[in-house]
Homo-oligomer: A and B are copies of this chain.
Amino acid sequence: MAKPKKTPRPKAETPKGFRDYFGSEVTHRAEMLSKIAAVYHRYGFDALESSGVETVEALGKFLPDVDRPNEGVFAWQEDADSGKPGDWLALRYDLTAPLARVYAQHQNDLPKPYRRYAMGPVWRNEKPGPGRFRQFYQCDADTVGAPSVAADAEICAMLADCLEEVGIDRGDYVVRVNNRKVLNGVMEVAGLAGDDKEAERGIVLRAIDKLDRLGPDGVRALLGEGRKDESGDFTKGAGLTESQRNIVMGFVSANDTAKSQLERLSSSVDKTSASKLRVAAYDNSTHVFPYWRSAETSKIWNKQVLSVLQDIAGGSLIGAQGVAELETISDLLDAQGYDATRIIIDPSVVRGLGYYTGPVYEAELTFDIQDEKGRTRNFGSVAGGGRYDDLVKRFTGQEVPATGVSIGVDRLLAALDAKGRLDKTADGPVVVTVMDKARMADYQTMVAELRQAGIRAEVYLGNPKNFGNQLKYADKRGSPVAVIEGGDEHEKGVVQIKDLILGAKLAENASLEEWKDRPSQYEVPRDQLIAKVREILDLHS
């Protein structure tokens, strides 16, 4: 008889592209989400939590990012029910598509406008890469049913408040605002409007979005016949005429134009104004965008950029409307005390998503970090959003105006970590060691007293035979204090309290004299256990 085949043991592995989060990775994120939720709430937004699973029909087959059409969702078909084939279900890929479904489903019960925030995991069925995961958090706030750009301005202000609330200093971030209508106006002026020009507009949009990487010459090449990259691969261009290209490039270089106009202006006025008007250097290598560093001059900057945009796109109705909207946004924000050192009009913001129809905005952190290859880089974008009017229409046929932002929680956490803003103080529990297994009840009593005093504490629950293992365990947990009560101590009514943080420091640096002068272990009466532990914890906090 053949031997029965052994079932091989299952592999203990996350699926490819997924990961586990431990301890402070979880709690730091939870704290950040809770701070952001508090800001969203203060702005009048209500919480919404939809489930991770939607019908494929409700989600729509499209994914938001037109640049990556192969990006997919995780989907499966329900079992057939009484002969009827089952629905296709899928994990949500963002929090906006579910919002559209919720709004269409519950519109009679929801207030209008509907301000809602949502936070939670989303899933993308894409090829995992380093630092790129198939499940990640999103943290969104959207206003549905408000046509006024006051709604967009409010979200930009809220975004700035969120960044400051979680620990990004003023000056370390900037929210950059543009308007798709200005871009559409530029297209119209350049003769690229109309349904038959959609392909060209797509190429132009993607070319503009690559300005940072390719520079003005690269963009100009893509607007024309095309461009050969370093590897020799050829990307076909939009095939614009020379004058069309000039119009688009005028838009692309709007910031530079505004800058030189202001520089000319500043050299023709008195010295004080000149110094006020100095523009921060445009540092192409670190992707920092020039903006006015002082509240006094930031208004001048916004006005100048808007005047350049008016010159380029004002000839088209939609373009002029776009510029006027940006002006309103700038004025509203100014009235609330959000000047252009925090929120700036910036025509270079394009944002990849095809569905935006009006203002678009993006939050960038402006400080430098070291990348994985040790190069100094600007940290870059941590949040973005804009106005979109078509999402709900899929369900109801009615166009419902909406605008909203999504904060990239994981990138923001990485930024705070890079800035040393995450609380890394040892948060390990006080460990009560077990010297005599038979006296477990006594040790549990100590721990209960510590916990009731609000102190994180635990009894060692492994095999207590080897005392060294207990101290190794305390070390691994990052414990600040170990409590020891052997037979002798019990008889004398005392406990030994070991300051493990001081102990570790002494072990590293101290001379023999210092060891003697600063003992890291104390014998105290049993009834002073809590007081002594608290004294040590306070010392290190």
- Select the stretch in A18-26, A348-356, A366-374 that faces chain B: A18-26
- Select the stretch in A110-118, A167-175, A230-238, A312-320 that faces chain B: A110-118
Residue from the list B123, B147, B461, B463 in contact with A52, Cβ < 8 A: B123
Contacts of A9 in B (CB 8 A): 394-397
Complex Cα–Cα for A47 and B11 (A): 23
Interface flags, A56-88, vs B, CB<8A=1, else 0: 011010000000000000111010000000010
Least Cβ–Cβ distance between A326 and chain B, in angstroms: 15
Say yes or no: is A104 at the interface (Cβ < 8 Å to chain B): yes
Known: A53-B18, A461-B146. Is A11-B335 also a contact (CB below 8 A)?
no
In contact, A47 and B23 (Cβ under 8 angstroms): yes
Complex Cα–Cα for A58 and B458 (A): 31
- In the complex, chain A residues 24-62 whose Cβ is within 8 Å of any chain B Cβ: 24-27, 30, 34, 37, 41-44, 46-55, 57-58, 60
Complex Cα–Cα for A457 and B455 (A): 37
Residue from the list B41, B115, B150, B456 in contact with A44, Cβ < 8 A: B456
In contact, B74 and A49 (Cβ under 8 angstroms): no
Residue from the list B51, B337, B395, B476 in contact with A135, Cβ < 8 A: B51
Residue from the list B24, B104, B336, B473 in contact with A444, Cβ < 8 A: B336
Residue from the list B21, B44, B335 in contact with A48, Cβ < 8 A: B21
Known: A42-B454, A335-B444. Is A54-B14 also a contact (CB below 8 A)?
yes
Contacts of A16 in B (CB 8 A): 87
In contact, A26 and B12 (Cβ under 8 angstroms): no
Complex Cα–Cα for A332 and B459 (A): 12
CB closest chain-B residue, reference A431:
B44
In contact, A462 and B113 (Cβ under 8 angstroms): yes
Contacts of A397 in B (CB 8 A): 9
Known: A10-B58, A445-B335. Is A148-B461 also a contact (CB below 8 A)?
yes
In contact, A335 and B441 (Cβ under 8 angstroms): yes
CB closest chain-B residue, reference A457:
B44
- In the complex, chain A residues 115-153 whose Cβ is within 8 Å of any chain B Cβ: 115, 121, 123, 134-135, 143, 145-148, 150-151, 153
Contacts of A105 in B (CB 8 A): 12-14, 20
In contact, B52 and A113 (Cβ under 8 angstroms): no
Q: Is the interface of A mostly helix, strand, loop or mixed?
A: mixed
Complex Cα–Cα for A49 and B78 (A): 27
Complex Cα–Cα for A292 and B52 (A): 45
Residue from the list B12, B43, B395, B445 in contact with A58, Cβ < 8 A: B12
Least Cβ–Cβ distance between A355 and chain B, in angstroms: 16
Say yes or no: is A188 at the interface (Cβ < 8 Å to chain B): no
- In the complex, chain A residues 403-429 whose Cβ is within 8 Å of any chain B Cβ: 429
Complex Cα–Cα for A55 and B148 (A): 47
In contact, A332 and B444 (Cβ under 8 angstroms): yes
Say yes or no: is A489 at the interface (Cβ < 8 Å to chain B): no
Contacts of A447 in B (CB 8 A): 336
Complex Cα–Cα for A150 and B463 (A): 12
Least Cβ–Cβ distance between A434 and chain B, in angstroms: 9
In contact, B53 and A74 (Cβ under 8 angstroms): yes
Say yes or no: is A197 at the interface (Cβ < 8 Å to chain B): no
In contact, A11 and B58 (Cβ under 8 angstroms): yes
Known: A12-B104, A462-B113. Is A53-B395 also a contact (CB below 8 A)?
no
Say yes or no: is A101 at the interface (Cβ < 8 Å to chain B): yes
26 A-B residue pairs with Cβ-Cβ distance under 8 Å, sorted by A, are A10-B55, A11-B57, A13-B55, A13-B105, A14-B51, A15-B55, A15-B89, A16-B87, A20-B50, A22-B46, A23-B48, A25-B47, A30-B34, A41-B456, A43-B457, A43-B458, A44-B477, A51-B121, A53-B134, A111-B477, A115-B458, A150-B461, A328-B440, A331-B441, A332-B440, A335-B445
- Additional pairs, 17, CB under 8 Å, beyond known A42-B454, A146-B461, A336-B448: A11-B395, A12-B101, A12-B396, A14-B105, A20-B102, A21-B48, A25-B49, A30-B34, A42-B451, A43-B457, A44-B429, A44-B457, A53-B134, A154-B458, A335-B441, A335-B445, A336-B445
The 8 closest A-B pairs by CB, nearest first: A44-B458, A12-B104, A26-B47, A146-B461, A335-B441, A76-B76, A44-B429, A336-B448
